[in-house]
Amino acid sequence: MERKFYRPFVTRARNFFHRHWQGALHWRDKIVFKEEAFHLLLAGIVGVIGGLVNLFFFYAGETVQRIFLPVPADPVQAAQMLSPWLRLAVPTLGGLAAGLILFWGFRLVGRQGSSDLLEVVVAGDGRLPFRTESVKTASAPVSIATGASIGREGGITQLSATLASKLGQFARWPPYRLRLLVGCGAAAGISAAYNAPIAGAVFASLIVLGNFSMNIFAPLVCASVVATMVSRSFFGIEPWYVVPPFPPTAPLELPWFIVMGILCGGVSALFLQFLRGAKQQFDRVKLPIYGRMTFAGLAVGVIAVAGYPGVCGNGYFVTNAILHGHFESVADAFPHLSGLFFAKLVATAITFGAGTVGGVFTPTMFLGADAGALFGMTLHHFDCATGVPVGAFALVGMGATLAGTTRSPLLAMIMAFEISLDYSLMPPLMLACVVAVLVSRQLHSESVYTEHMRLKGLSLLRETDQAGAAMDKTVGDLMQSPVTPMRETVSLQEIADRFLASPNNFVPIVDAQKQLIGVVALQDLKEFLHDNRELAGVIALDLMRPPPKCLTPGQRLLDALPLVLESELRNIPVVNTLAENRLVGSLSRAQMLAIFSEAIAEKSKTSR
Q: Which residue has the higher pLDDT, 29 or 205?
A: 205
Mean pLDDT over 375-384 rounds to: 93
Predicted pLDDT at 256: 96
pTM of the model: 0.83
- Rounded to an integer, the average pLDDT of 251-266 is 95
Q: What is the model's pLDDT at position 357? A: 93
Instruction: Identify the residue with better confidence: 420 or 92.
Output: 92
- Do 251-455 and 479-607 agree at the fold level? no
User: Higher model confidence: residue 473 or residue 573?
Assistant: 573
Question: Which region among 106-120, 129-143, 427-441, 450-464 has the lowest average model confidence (pLDDT)?
Answer: 450-464
pLDDT in tens, 385-413: 888 999 999 999 999 999 999 999 999 99
Q: What is the mean pLDDT of residues 127-135?
A: 92
b (16+ CB within 10 A) / e for 24-52: eeeeeeeeeeeeeeebeebbbbbbbbbbb
pLDDT band of 466, cuts 50, 70, 90: very low
Summarize pLDDT for 288-314 with one digit per residue, the tens: 999 999 999 999 999 999 989 999 988
- Name residues whose C-beta falls within 8 Å of residue 235's C-beta, 6 or more positions apart in sequence: 51, 55
- Listed in order, strand segments (DSSP E) in 410-489 are 486-487
pLDDT digits (tens, 9 = 90+) for 524-544: 877 666 665 556 677 888 888
- Least Cα distance to 588 among 512, 503, 469, 515 occurs for 503
User: What pLDDT does 363 receive?
Assistant: 94
Q: Which tens digit of pLDDT belongs to each residue from 338-357?
A: 999 999 999 999 999 999 99
Q: How many Å apart are CA 511 and CA 524, to the nearest integer?
A: 20
The CATH H-level superfamily of 45-234 is Clc chloride channel (1.10.3080.10)
**Listed residue (269, 282, 281) closest to 447, CA to CA:** 269
- pLDDT band of residue 459 (cuts 50, 70, 90) is low
Mean pLDDT of 113-126: 80
Q: What is the model's pLDDT at position 467?
A: 38
What architecture is the 251-455 domain classified under in CATH? Orthogonal Bundle (1.10)
18: helix, strand or coil:
helix
Sign of the dihedral defined by the CA atoms of residues 272, 552, 181, 104, in that order: negative
The pLDDT value given to residue 536: 62
Residue type, 535: L
pLDDT of residue 316: 85
**Is residue 24 scored above 80 in pLDDT?**
no
Can you give the pLDDT at residue 468? 45
CA distance 451 to 438: 17
- Predicted confidence band at 29 (pLDDT cuts at 50, 70, 90)? low
- Among 116-125, 160-169, 583-592, the range with the most confident prediction by mean pLDDT is 160-169
What phi-psi label fits residue 195: left (phi over 0), alpha (psi between -120 and 50 degrees) or beta?
Answer: left
Task: Name the band, by pLDDT with cuts 50, 70 and 90, for residue 1.
Answer: very low
Listed by start position, the domains of the chain span 45-234, 251-455, 479-607
Task: State which H helix or E strand residue 506 sits in.
Answer: strand 506-510
Rounded percentage of the chain residues whose pLDDT exceeds 90? 49
Would you state the pLDDT for residue 606?
A: 55
Mean pLDDT of the 550-563 span: 85
Tens digit of each residue's pLDDT (9 = 90 or more) over 317-337: 899 999 998 887 777 889 999
CA dihedral for 442, 443, 449, 452, sign (positive or negative): positive
- Quick one: average pLDDT of 466-475? 58
pLDDT for 598 beyond 80: no
Query: What is the per-residue pLDDT for 150?
Result: 93
Q: Is a pLDDT exceeding 70 seen at residue 458?
A: no
What's the mean pLDDT in 563-569? Answer: 84
pLDDT, tens only, 213-229: 778 899 999 999 999 99
**pLDDT surpassing 90 at residue 166:** yes
Q: State pLDDT tens for residues 78-97.
A: 888 888 999 999 999 999 99
The pLDDT value given to residue 236: 64
Does domain 479-607 fall into CATH 3.20.20.140? no
Instruction: Please give the DSSP secondary-structure letter assigned to residue 292.
Output: H
Lowest mean pLDDT segment, chosen from 76-85, 458-467, 502-511? 458-467
- Residue 608's pLDDT is 54
Residue 143 contacts residue 356 (beta carbons within 8 Å) = yes
Summarize pLDDT for 272-282 with one digit per residue, the tens: 999 999 999 99
Q: What's the pLDDT score for residue 268?
A: 97
